[in-house]
Structure 1
Amino acid sequence: MRLRRFAFPDSIAARMVLTVVVALFLTQAISTLVYLTDRSEGPPIHGPGVLVQRVTAIVQLVGSTPAADRERLVKAIDDPVLRVEWHPDRPPELSDYTGVRFDGLRRRLRETLNIPSRAIVFEVERRDGDDRHEGGRHRPPPPPFAGDDDRRWGPHIRLSIQLGDGSWLTFTGGDPLEGPFRVIRFVLWMGALVAVILVSSLWAARRFTAPLAGFAAAAERLGVDAEAPPLPEAGPRELRAATRAFNRMQARLARFVADRTQMLAAISHDLRTPLTRLRLRAELVEDPEMQRKMLADLDEMEAMIAATMAFARDDAKREPRGRLDLADLLQSLCDDRVDSGHDAVYDGPAHAVAEGRPVALRRAFANLMDNAIAYGGGFTVRLEPEEGQCRVHVDDRGPGIPEDEFEKVFAPFYRLERSRSRDTGGVGLGLSTARTIIRGHGGDIALANRPEGGLRVTVTLPR
């Protein structure tokens, strides 16, 4: 482990720096390879010295060759860098460029060829719309270059030299660097460079962010299952520190819930003994009306203690998750309410498969239905299976509730009906328990008043 950490950076910042350095190194390596590959072919023959030597050799060779064989010889010499043509007569439209720019080349060619009196004509390609006159005579403009580049051979210049028998050799500059194959190869090199950098960057980014994705998934899982196993401590140093803190937080939350449950269990156990004594003493009260009220209060206290224990323990939450038929579960709950004489209607498909804890979901939807019966007189359950989730609407037939109470009714022991009478509702834990269970499955509950009257409870569950 120590060797691996020494060989590879142990922090996010260092790994980012390493990624940038590697990407730059790859860029420089491929650029160097491109340069060396192009350089291996040799530079184009554009320099004046090389030009004079090659033109001299070609003129001497062609001049010493019989006229009948010169056409084939010129075709063999011709190449993309230096185009060579042989003309038995003077080529048409020869207009010598008499400026000083090519005087040096003309002088060197006359010296090397030893032809002081033969014609050597330089022609420069004109640019559109550029007309110049020198000495009352039309002159072609200079090439579109400046400085030292003016002396370099290029496709804009044509050199014509008269041979001893009156025929002419014409030399035209070419530039293979501008050829289509060269451009295509350059594009391929650059595409390969971009691809290498892109692939290496994606690989590094995925490698660096994979632990972050696991960390986010663990945080999301904690909101659904507080008893999830701790997250493995892996990745850069900063992420390992965050994971360690996350695991400690998860352990503290688990201990807090366990301590709360244990405390409530102890309070419940301690309260049952005095409640039993109070019930025995209430039996000795001679006034029947007073006795009835005392026993009713004791029953309500016991019910509140039992509901509190059920809400705190949430034993059903510990059952394993599995595939279940949500439609069948809702239909059975509605049938049970109809058998008890209540107004309950199911509207939805006969089958809808979802994943969850059957006992916990049955308890959650039973609380919602019983709440709709207690405050709305009846309800209709509508199931709407969707892509990736199931949506369940529980519509009651009551007056609805104020919108500013939508969130308050989910608080434990909160009731809109302030009398606390069990005849008008429970102890105020039904909606709290239902939302705890639904959110434990990764879903949620929302309330809304229907335009036609009544409250709508919408439950969303992932499939």
Structure 2
Amino acid sequence: MSMMREQAPRRRTPQRQGLGAPPVINPAGVVKRMLPRTLFGRSLLIITTPVILAQAIATFYFYDQHWERVTNNQAFGVAGEVAMVIEQLGRDQTPEDRDVTLDMVTRTTDLMVTFQPGERLPNWHRQHLFGILEHTLGRALDEKVGRPWTIDTHVAHEWYGINVQLPDGVLHVLSPERRLFSFTSWVFILWMAGSSLLLFTVAIMFMRNQIRPIRRLAIAAEAFGKGRDTPAFKPEGASEVRQAATAFLQMRERIQRQISQRTEMLAGVSHDLRTPLTRMRLQLAMLPDAQEVEELKADVAEMEGMIEAYLAFARGEGAEPATPTDVGALLADVVANARREGRLVELSLPDIAITVPLRANDFRRCVANLVGNAVRYAGRAWVTLQRQGGHLYVLIDDDGPGIPEEMREEVFRPFHRLDGSRNQATGGVGLGLGIARDIANRHGGDVLLEDSPKGGLRAAIRLPV
């Protein structure tokens, strides 16, 4: 009990500090979340909102001015005719005169009038009226007739019954609906609705034609970011869209030209360095054996290895086209090559084959570099293929020493090696991870390093699909 008393104030503390108060709702944020996110939806909203507002205002004005006024005039007209009949019946002295009056009214007007002597209206003062038309007609009868009355809306189809209490009986009047209701209101509403649907259809067709070039530009930019060529893309659409498409094409040409120049420069430098190295190796072969000569030969061999890495890096910038590739089969080929070299590598693939556009040779080099690093610095490696959402993941796990988290980005720099976590005697010049990330970037993806559940390092290749 003492523990409960000590903990109770702690549970109330957040409320005293205001932590339990309801969150403040930002109206601007709520409206922003309700708006459409696509350009097509926003453009259509910009077009349709003024039309809807204009029609709403016109409809309100029509009902407030035209429909109500016309209905009021028609109701008062019928009420006036009923009042005239009642006044004329009051002047008639005999039942025969009343019959003549009723026949004349039925013959000369649209009203069907009968009189029932001695009848009384039941509960006339308790009648509840529904609808604007009934209220308007009731107001007209109060003003024109000034006697007890009831309105029967179910007497017949398209007919209204008006019953008026007279001193010696009840006057029954049947009025057609057209005498009380203006059907032009429905025509007006149907015309507005039909014209709105027609305008919306035209607007949707027009906006789709305008949005299509923007979508094609977005698809071309996304494909170029994934390393895929889009030769069929050309500027089209409005002048602003054509300007954006032209700027994209010029940017793509500049990037491709820069990549080509970089590749040619690296290949040229690497090729030019081979000639003096070859001469140095020949001259060292002619010298007598000595420790200094052996050290120079080792330096020359290391430089040749660096040049080979340069050339491999340059070849990675080639113009290999992206083709549909079975990723599982490609990984199985890489794992089989590693196993032939005596490496312990396990492969896990999904049940369904995954085919995506890839530069097969480049991607094989990317996976081979990562698998080679894993088996070089660890005893065993695991390769797993997964698909999550819109991305494809190739996971390479090992049980080696791993890489410290604060140094995982540095290993992607060219010729950068970690003495503490990577054995210098195992070979390599520090370009493997850089080449792997460069290839993944050209496919629109990336290579990420993280802790492996196997106890070592995990290299994850993430590609958009």
Per the normalisation by structure 2, the TM-score is: 0.66
Match of residue 383 from structure 2: 381
Alignment root-mean-square deviation, CA: 5.1
Alignment of 1:190-201 (within 5 A): 192=194, 195-196=197-198, 198-201=200-203
Match of residue 352 from structure 1: 353
How big is the shift at 1:459?
2.3
3-state DSSP of counterpart to 1:318: coil
Alignment of 1:109-188 (within 5 A): 121-123=146-148, 159-161=164-166, 166-170=168-172
Aligned residue identity for 1:393: L
Match of residue 15 from structure 2: none
Match of residue 5 from structure 2: none
> CA-to-partner distance for each residue in 1:49-96, whole Å, 9 max, x for gaps?
6643465368769978798999999999998xx79663222534688x
Matched, 1:86 2:115: yes
Structure number, greater radius of gyration: 1
Change in CA separation of 1:124 and 1:438 when aligned onto 2, cut-off 3 Å: same
Alignment of 1:33-432 (within 5 A): 43-44=70-71, 45-46=73-74, 48=76, 51-53=79-81, 55-56=83-84, 86-92=115-121, 121-123=146-148, 159-161=164-166, 166-170=168-172, 192=194, 195-196=197-198, 198-225=200-227, 228-229=230-231, 231-314=233-316, 318-324=320-326, 326-349=327-350, 352-355=353-356, 356-384=358-386, 390-417=392-419, 423-432=425-434
**Contact 1:348 1:383 (C-alpha < 8 Å) held by counterparts:** yes
> CA-to-partner distance for each residue in 1:285-328, whole Å, 9 max, x for gaps?
3343222221221122122122222212326651441232x333
Change in CA separation of 1:177 and 1:410 when aligned onto 2, cut-off 3 Å: farther
Per the normalisation by structure 1, the TM-score is: 0.66
**Contact 2:403 2:421 (C-alpha < 8 Å) held by counterparts:** no
Alpha-carbon separation, structure 1, partners of 2:179 and 2:244: 56
Aligned residue identity for 2:347: Y
How big is the shift at 1:177?
11
Alpha-carbon separation, structure 1, partners of 2:400 and 2:413: 21
> CA-to-partner distance for each residue in 1:198-244, whole Å, 9 max, x for gaps?
44443343333222222221221221237543842222222222222
Alpha-carbon separation, structure 1, partners of 2:284 and 2:55: 94
3-state DSSP of counterpart to 2:417: coil
3-state DSSP of counterpart to 1:275: helix
Which has the higher mean CA deviation after the structures are superposed, 282-291 or 392-401? 282-291
> For structure 1, which runs of at least 5 residues remain unmatched after alignment?
1-11, 96-100, 107-119, 126-154
**Contact 1:317 1:437 (C-alpha < 8 Å) held by counterparts:** no
3-state DSSP of counterpart to 1:255: helix
